[in-house]
Chains A and B, each alone.
Chain A
Amino acid sequence: MNGAVERFDDSARRHVGSYGRTVVRANELLRHPVYTRVVHWTVAIFFILALLSGFAIYSPWLFRALSPLFGGGPTTRMLHPWFSLAFVIAFAFQILNWLAPMTWNADDRRWMKNLREYVTNERPVEPEYVDFFNAGQKVYFWAIVWSALLFLLSGLPMWFPHTFGRITVDVAYVVHDIAALVMLVGFIVHVYEGTASQPGTFRSMTRGTVERRWAWTHHPAWYRRATGRDPRADYEQARRL
């Protein structure tokens, strides 16, 4: 990331942070600062609006159920690209915000090799190398980055069919649908992982904090960096109590 982007991102974080607060109590750690939460939920709101309005156009049998939410068919069609544009802009801020912790590395390759163990809940705590985000979260992040790019590139011809010509638009329909497929499946998994599957996670995006035991369970390397303590030792100690 170049200097200017980093400076902008830092100042945005400080600026937005000054309007809100995160209360970190004993036995808690600050997971997501105010700026990250605001950006995340802005992205989420426009994502869901774009998803519902897009789904209404995508599938005729959902059309009658969903399009009245947005004021009928033509209004749904008119609003969808604007929701999507707002999503893309908000998501651009999130990319800048998370580019550093989302960078893929050798530990992520190791984690992906043991994906099955993660999915079947075979280990009580994550391996010590798992940092702020695990490889699964990174895969989701980059899947959204690439599908958002596909959405944007295919959405523009669909928005202005006469400017781009018939064949470009015809190909764009297929690309748009494939991007929708990737994003929707990723989104469902994301919601599941962030709520029912991992108790104690959802609050990190609402109140901004997590329990310390949540941190040494799911992100030991981050726990070590944030507290300066040994995650495994603290876990063992807590277990003996």
Chain B
Amino acid sequence: MPTGTLQIKAISAHPGPVPGHGAQREEDVCKYIDVTTCIGCKACEVACVEWNDMPFQETRFDNTYQTMPATAWNYWNLIKFNEHPRADGSLMWLMRKDQCMHCEDPGCLRACPADGAIVQYTNGIVDFQQENCIGCQYCVSGCPFDIPKFNSETKKVYKCTLCSDRVGQGLEPACIKACPTGCLRFGTKADMRALADARARQLREQSGFADAGVYDPPSIGGTHVIYVLHDAANPEHYGGLPKNPVIPATYTVWKRVAKPIGLLLALLAAPVAFFHYVMEGPKEPQP
């Protein structure tokens, strides 16, 4: 990678390791989110808004600590606060940082009809190229996580870029940089997955969360944002994280069957009509 040369190898008088160093030893990047140690401080939300130069805006209070009900076209990173009652009547306060999951098999990219409006980098980041976006919103229904958000003024769709501009320069995403508890980490997919597996094992063996596990759904080829959950058997409890996110089979029917056959028939009808004229001639009024 040409940008690799600009990656910082050493920093003078810097305590601790160099941030992001070694992140490109493997191409696939990954964001690690440990839901169990998130304190809901929203530093990641602010960092996201700041780095992406989005205006601060009025929010909507819905009787929770949540900033607003859902992510918005100019608010890509939102901690979802959920109060989940346990069987014994006690309460679990679940906080999950919601953003684009950067799927390995992205439904948005599959649904998009506009040439070059959605790209997937070799490092796994799925990025929208707004200059090519036509605002059809097919990606909105293509996404299993309801992430792409339409701006009715610019007629374009926006979402988290996993700070592709920062990552391309060897920096970690803004949200990771801001996290005070270390529940957010960034690195290669293999490293983050190993870290997540170790943390989940620790939760199972030492903290009494028997169902603790990692959310990295294989139904969409895995994601480049992974969660450590106390209860991996019920991801829906964490603000509607789908247990089995899928890209509907209708997409295959639509793009691989209906579209090409439709085009073929459309293209066939014209030469059929032309050769009918050539072979049979016109029906003249008689005599």
Contacts and interface: CB of A to CB of B under 8 A. Distances in A.
Given A58-B113, A64-B115, A78-B135, A177 B269 contact: no
Contacts of A73: 114, 132-135
B155 A74 contact: yes
A68 B116 CA distance: 17
Given A74-B155, A196-B277, A161 B265 contact: no
B251 to A, nearest CB: 7
Residue of B115, B250, B253, B286 with highest tally of chain A CB at under 10 A: B286
Nearest to B139: A161
A192 B268 CA distance: 13
Contact of B253 (A64, A119, A174): A174
Residue of A57, A78, A166, A167 with highest tally of chain B CB at under 10 A: A166
Given A177-B259, A197-B283, A213-B286, A78 B155 contact: yes
Contact of B254 (A177, A189, A238): A177
Chief secondary structure at chain A's binding surface = helix
B263 interface: yes
A125 B284 CA distance: 9
B224 to A, nearest CB: 22
Residue of A73, A121, A166, A214 with highest tally of chain B CB at under 10 A: A73
Contact of B263 (A59, A76, A120, A198): A59
A113 interface: no
Contacts of A59: 113, 259, 263
The contact size tier of chain A is: 35 or more
Contacts, number: 132
A70 B27 CA distance: 41
Contacts of B281: 121
Contact of B287 (A74, A167, A177, A213): A213
A130 interface: no
Nearest to A162: B140
A211 B250 contact: no
A217 B285 contact: yes
B16 interface: no
A188 to B, nearest CB: 4
B156 interface: yes
A192 B280 CA distance: 13
Nearest to A216: B286
13 contacts: A59-B263, A64-B115, A161-B141, A170-B254, A173-B250, A180-B262, A184-B265, A184-B266, A188-B270, A199-B284, A200-B285, A217-B283, A218-B285
Interface of A: 57-60, 63-64, 67, 73-78, 119-121, 124-125, 161-162, 166-167, 169-171, 173-174, 177-178, 180-181, 184-185, 188-189, 192, 196-200, 211, 213-214, 216-218, 235, 238-239
Nearest 4 A/B pairs, CB to CB: A73-B134, A169-B141, A192-B273, A74-B155
Given A76-B134, A170-B142, A213-B285, 12 more contacts: A57-B113, A59-B263, A77-B155, A119-B276, A166-B141, A177-B258, A177-B259, A181-B258, A189-B273, A199-B284, A218-B285, A239-B287
